[in-house]
Amino acid sequence: MTSRPNKDQQTSPSVDTAGEPKAAKGNLRKVFVRTYGCQMNVYDSERMTDVLAPEGFEATEDLNDADLVILNTCHIREKAAEKVYSELGRIRKVKEERAKSGKDMMVGVAGCVAQAEGEEISRRAPIVDLVVGPQSYHQLPGLLEKARQGKKVVETEFDIDAKFNHLSGQAEKPVLKRAPSAFLTVQEGCDKFCTFCVVPYTRGAEVSRSVQQIVEEAERMASAGVREVTLLGQNVNAYHGEAADGATWGLGRLLRRLAEIDGLDRLRYTTSHPRDMDDDLIAAHAELKSLMPYLHLPVQSGSDKILKAMNRRHTREDYFRLLDRIRAAAPDIALSGDFIVGFPGETEQDFEDTMDLIRRVEYGSAFSFKYSQRPGTPGATMDDQVPEDVKSARLAELQALISDQQKAFNASRRGMICDVLLEKTGRNPGQLVGKSPWLQPVQLDAQENLIGSIQAVEIVDIGSNSLFGRLIAGQDTFDTAGAAAAPASQAG
């Protein structure tokens, strides 16, 4: 299961210091990283910025100012490569502009498009100096040096252990303050081979980081002020990492260990596959106060015929039974999912089965996509491709239903008191934005010095995408008795 896609985003300068820059102060070079796709890419972009910091690179959000540009790409849906090529066209113009004033600009393409396209990228877009796949970004300094000597560099090896070891090496470095919520990659790749999906080809086979590597990184985050960690993996609940005694730990056991770390008061994980939701992980939802009541558990379709054609290896009944067990363990859990409409062979009845599944589950939110043919995947050459206009109509219908469910779920929070992790300033002065236990943004009036604290908040109003809250006490709930999610009428 791939991570939930975000809208394209730039990586803000990392505040995590990775040692003293090699270049003298005042002589810092600027790196502009643009991130496409899922949270895994957001995490990778942050780590690329970290790797480049000791080389004298400082992050910039201004493309015109960049000595080095990196596009961290996503290949999950159609036209991904074409979008990268047109972005490279725009970058070429900026590079030419800079050249007029004697300034150079190096260009790198990273991520899954880099992995899939390889050399083709620098052939079609000669301004690209460097192509680096998702498992090789820790080699960036060396690769850049080669590129600086005028060589076209393409590095798309699948040496994931080397990448994970490098990440752990970073744990030795001193740490400054970090944002209250952070991602932590625990596994990469996928062995599921759903017939629509490129991930097993672009990210490779499933590999889990060791327990020790993860615990050290989480401890380091906690000491840098991180309160909430989201464990990332394309198929995160397939996690099976090695512990110090040689035993293999699943995700449930890993979460229990991370819950012991002082200061880490909120744990999340994404994205999960229904087949890998084992009893231990479900039990962790009942046991761990810090494991947030939110689960992204994509089902993709509600039709058994389509699930089989997708090679999902579960039926709709399996999914319902699984949700019953999860809801028994965590009754207030918010469910989220991914849906694909118009997979080859999907009839009106198959689509109706998906709509029926959604009605029965009642999601808090969900992501939905029109099926797109990904070259190299089995789905791309299947008969009975569904016409575009049919896909569009089905997607609109499905999204209307999800939107109604999301509104109903949000509205059901009105009047509740819940813990909110305050993360950043809001749009208006005096306003902060935080996150509810169910991953909804919450806006409220509060002073900036409360950023990074977890506060008891009463939900007083519901907007289209966020909740509006009122601060109850102004003291971190983890320093006091702690307010759990409960209707206001029962809270005091």
Known binding-site positions for [4Fe-4S] cluster: 38, 74, 112, 190, 194, 197
Max Cα–Cα distance, the chain, nearest Å: 69
Is residue 190 a contact residue for ligand SF4 (CB under 6 A)?
yes
Give min distance, CB of 439 to ligand SF4, in A.
20
Is residue 160 a contact residue for ligand SF4 (CB under 6 A)?
no
- Please list the residues that pair with 424 across neighbouring strands: 433
- With CB under 5 to 8 Å by kind, the binding choice for 160 among ligand 5AD, ligand SF4, none is none
371 burial via Cβ count (<10 Å: 0-12, 13-18, 19+): buried
Of 302, 298, 299, 320, the C-alpha closest to 357 is: 302
Beta-carbon contacts of 184 under 8 Å, excluding residues fewer than 6 positions away, are 43, 214, 217, 218, 221, 229, 230, 231, 232
Is residue 405 a contact residue for ligand SF4 (CB under 6 A)?
no
Residue set of the binding site: 38, 74, 112, 190, 194, 197
Is residue 3 a contact residue for ligand SF4 (CB under 6 A)?
no
Give the dihedral sign, CA 382/386/392/395: negative
Give min distance, CB of 301 to ligand 5AD, in A.
10
267: three-class secondary structure by DSSP: strand
Beta-carbon contacts of 492 under 8 Å, excluding residues fewer than 6 positions away, are none
- Please list the residues that pair with 136 across neighbouring strands: none
DSSP 8-state assignment for residue 276? G
Query: In terms of CB distance, is 11 or 202 closer to ligand SF4?
Result: 202
- With CB under 5 to 8 Å by kind, the binding choice for 432 among ligand 5AD, ligand SF4, none is none
Give min distance, CB of 238 to ligand SF4, in A.
8
- With CB under 5 to 8 Å by kind, the binding choice for 5 among ligand 5AD, ligand SF4, none is ligand 5AD
Select the residue whose beta carbon is closest to ligand 5AD and give its number: 338
- Strand extents, DSSP E, 265-330: 266-270, 294-296
> From the list 52, 59, 88, 199, which residue makes contact with ligand SF4 (rule: CB under 6 A)?
199
What gap in Å lies between CA 296 and CA 277, rounded to an integer? 11
| Tokens of residue 217, six digits | 């990184």
Cβ atoms of 200 and 191 within 8 Å: the answer is yes
What part of residues 260-299 is at the interface with ligand SF4 (CB under 6 A)? Answer: 273
Query: In terms of CB distance, is 53 or 323 closer to ligand 5AD?
Result: 323
Give min distance, CB of 232 to ligand 5AD, in A.
13
Of 68, 58, 151, 145, the C-alpha closest to 106 is: 68
Q: Residue 65 belongs to what H/E stretch?
A: none
- With CB under 5 to 8 Å by kind, the binding choice for 398 among ligand SF4, ligand 5AD, none is none
Give min distance, CB of 78 to ligand 5AD, in A.
7
Give min distance, CB of 206 to ligand SF4, in A.
8
> From the list 194, 309, 335, 422, which residue makes contact with ligand SF4 (rule: CB under 6 A)?
194
Amino acid letter, residue 461:
D
Query: In terms of CB distance, is 69 or 277 closer to ligand 5AD?
Result: 277
Backbone φ, ψ for residue 442 (5° rounding)? -125, 125
Query: In terms of CB distance, is 197 or 261 closer to ligand 5AD?
Result: 197
Backbone φ, ψ for residue 148 (5° rounding)? -65, -30
Query: In terms of CB distance, is 224 or 395 closer to ligand 5AD?
Result: 395
Of 81-89, 185-193, 222-230, 458-466, which part binds ligand SF4 (CB under 6 A)? 185-193
> From the list 2, 73, 237, 466, which residue makes contact with ligand SF4 (rule: CB under 6 A)?
2
Give min distance, CB of 367 to ligand 5AD, in A.
7
Alpha carbon 300 to its chain's center: 18
Contacts with ligand 5AD by CB under 6 A lie at 1-2, 5, 76-77, 196-197, 298, 300, 338, 340, 369, 371-372, 374
Give me the long-range contacts of 351-354 (CB less than 8 A, separation at least 24): 351/303, 351/394, 351/398, 353/301, 353/302, 353/303, 353/304, 353/306, 353/316, 354/301, 354/302, 354/303, 354/306, 354/398
DSSP notation for 205-231: S-EE--HHHHHHHHHHHHHTT--EEEE
Give min distance, CB of 280 to ligand SF4, in A.
20
Give min distance, CB of 80 to ligand 5AD, in A.
10
Of 172-180, 193-201, 214-222, 367-375, which part binds ligand SF4 (CB under 6 A)? 193-201
Is residue 197 a contact residue for ligand SF4 (CB under 6 A)?
yes
User: Residues interacting with ligand SF4, by CB under 6 A?
Assistant: 1-2, 190, 192-194, 197, 199-200, 234-235, 273
